[in-house]
Amino acid sequence: MMEEIHDEPIALERAFRAERAHAFEFKRFCGRQNFRLIVLVARGTSDNAALFGRYLLELTTGIPVSLAAPSVHTLYHARLNLRQALVIGISQSGEGTDINLVLQAARRQGACTVGITNEPHSAMARLVDEVFLVRAGRQRSVAATKTYTGQLLVLYLLASALGQAVTLEEVGRIPGHVRQALRLESEIRELVERYRYMHECAVVARGLNYANAFELSLKLMETCYVVAERFSAADFLHGPIALVERDFPVMLFMPPGKTFAEMNRLAKRLRQLRAETVVISSSDSKLPAATRALRVPDVIPELYTPIPYIVPGQLVAALLAEAKGIDPDRPRSLKIVTRTR
């Protein structure tokens, strides 16, 4: 897992260089289609990438985006009208049974289908109209890290093809921001000692980093066996805040930008409750309410924070597992490919 986290800057550069021309061609194709709806379908970490895709694509293209409920297709066999829809499947392995069944059904129902996968010879790559490759190199760790950030990068490329707001210049800077984020490793190695006996926590974010709350909590569950619940900062105030007592750990993603004021309001409330907060943010933000802060060294526009911001989260999970004496590469009861319907 640590090796794959360290591979991320190079893997992201490789994907960017190889797929940007493809995104440019796809832009021409999209110009002729007039897509009215985008549907994303995935499981596990790839589904967290899809959740990010929902925010990114709605914000930057104006096209409504929905996350597919696979059972609607695979168990209930519903017929949907997917004409003028773009259906995007995301799967590291490209072998998720239900994801591929949804893509097949979507094609029959009139959609244009795209696959985002790390495996060029996978079932997904063979069945979709257009394949974008993550090019992260073979994933060996059960815990997906480099393929998550690679999937997010490809989603930026698709956003640049479908709208105007994402610039390839900024996307091209992401691997550099990730290199900077990796410099937090020794600080995180010290920090995790404090959480060696943590059994439960909440992870909270809003907007573009909401998917990262899901991803960090998944990583904490599968590699550290911590019961990690994830929430939007708004939903957290509608009930879960009642869980919080003195020293209850809450991790927060707080990039400077549109979501900062709301996240900061929550951080202040958590301080009043004497919770233990760990904030992931940038070097330029003011964080008086945090117990602990992990600051990604670069100043990054909010739209481009999700990839560099998950990196300290991945390091927390990998190093906390080590501190707890758990091998993060062999989580109990898990394999790299999980087949569900």
The binding site for ligand AGP (CB under 6 A) comprises: 43-46, 91-93, 96, 142-144, 222, 334, 337-338
Residue nearest ligand AGP, CB atom distance: 44
For 91, what's the count of Cα atoms within 13 Å in the CB-facing half-sphere?
Answer: 33
CA 122, CA 125: separation in Å to the nearest integer? 5
State in angstroms the smallest separation of the CB of 147 from ligand AGP: 7
Of 44 and 175, which has the nearer Cβ to ligand AGP? 44
State in angstroms the smallest separation of the CB of 191 from ligand AGP: 22
Cα–Cα separations (whole angstroms), residue 315 to 81, 108, 181, 189, 319: 43, 42, 10, 8, 6
Of 92 and 217, which has the nearer Cβ to ligand AGP? 92
Q: Residue holding tokens 């992401």? A: 174
Of 7 and 276, which has the nearer Cβ to ligand AGP? 7
Of 44 and 70, which has the nearer Cβ to ligand AGP? 44
State in angstroms the smallest separation of the CB of 154 from ligand AGP: 13
State in angstroms the smallest separation of the CB of 93 from ligand AGP: 3
The encoded tokens of residue 250 equal 């809450």
Residue ranges of alpha helices (H) inside the chain are: 2-6, 8-33, 44-61, 70-74, 97-108, 123-127, 146-162, 168-182, 185-193, 210-224, 233-236, 260-272, 306-324
Of 93 and 259, which has the nearer Cβ to ligand AGP? 93
Of 54 and 275, which has the nearer Cβ to ligand AGP? 54
State in angstroms the smallest separation of the CB of 44 from ligand AGP: 2
Q: Which of 2, 3, 5 is nearest to 311 (CA)?
A: 5
> Helix (H) and strand (E) counts for the chain?
13, 10
Q: Residue holding tokens 């404090």? A: 194
Sign of CA dihedral 133, 135, 140, 141: negative
State in angstroms the smallest separation of the CB of 330 from ligand AGP: 12
